[in-house]
Structure 1
């Protein structure tokens, strides 16, 4: 049986979790003994025995961990902004059509954006090499776990049957 993806979401600067790294280590300590956080040459966090990912905004930090990878997480705060120029430049026609049908265009944009970022993190490429135009590749699933309403969160992980079975909130 494949392992779940474990998530934590906290305000930045909170006493219990002052940084993304502290939150990630706190989560990892529930999954492995004495986790050690390092970074690869690109700056991606590494904890032996786990696939991990970090995302943060001005007000929130989100971390994810699983015993299996690939894994990516992205978080964007919901705040007023003009998304049309970016969407029109980078999103596929079917994505733009989907956005038009949604009751909240900003949230729809953020769902697409965070999904693309999470996939890029899972693949280890970020948004490079056409990441904003990249469809979710076979073998990865993207979900949008609920947040308190002030942010959109996306998690990309191995498709059920090929890795992760469920997403849990710790």
Structure 2
């Protein structure tokens, strides 16, 4: 069974270097090896992954080990995700006041706009960020990002509005559309942020664990 580990940390120093170090630490914890034996690499389209370094003493003569990863930077927080059984995407955004309907009309399709408008005015900014983080995370799974048409791609829109995730309760990745092979979950993230995790084929039912770590 696949599983997803999400690590959150306040960035220290250069954010890119910090994110790479955090990716290695998280992947090392999942794989049970030393961070020094892992390297962050990228596919031709730019999607990151972590792979064991040739000759690393943790692996000996075994073939290189690879895990799929994702990273998100925002003001005051870095999020990384490691998945043991499929592609993964993570996105985190600070909860804040926004002209939600105007931005939705500018960025998203009509169905997304109607869903955001259906919320009470004080919830629309968070509803916008729900949609945004889903699109970002799914775009990372697909390797397209928002620039590749992801802004208009469909995302799960709960009929009852924004669901409330009880603090501390584990969540699992669930298929968002039948047959699409894509999954998502909204774990209980840090206060003041909206967090979304998405997965590709093979991630249905994967448990998502969120850990806050130092630097």
Return structure 1 stretches of 4+ with deviation > 6 angstroms: none
Measured after TM superposition, the shift of residue 120 of structure 1 is 0.4
Matching of residue 134 in structure 1 with residue 146 in structure 2: no
**Structure 2 unaligned residues grouped into runs of 5+:** 52-65, 156-176
> Which of 79, 85, 95 is equivalent to 1:68?
85
* Structure 1 residues 65-103: Cα deviation after superposition (integer angstroms, max 9, x where no partner): 011222111111112232333301332332222212334
How far, CA to CA, are the matches of 2:84 and 2:112 in structure 1? 32
Matching of residue 81 in structure 1 with residue 86 in structure 2: no
Q: 1:158 to 1:38 in 2, by over 3 A?
A: closer
Matching of residue 39 in structure 1 with residue 58 in structure 2: no
Aligned to 1:146: 188
Matching of residue 124 in structure 1 with residue 166 in structure 2: no
> RMSD between aligned alpha carbons?
2.0
Measured after TM superposition, the shift of residue 42 of structure 1 is 4.1
How far, CA to CA, are the matches of 1:42 and 1:126 in structure 2? 10
Aligned positions, number:
164
Q: Is the 8 A contact 1:12 1:58 kept in 2?
A: no
* Structure 1 residues 2-27: Cα deviation after superposition (integer angstroms, max 9, x where no partner): 2111111111228xxx7111211110
> Which of 198, 201, 208 is equivalent to 1:167?
208
Higher radius of gyration, 1 or 2: 2
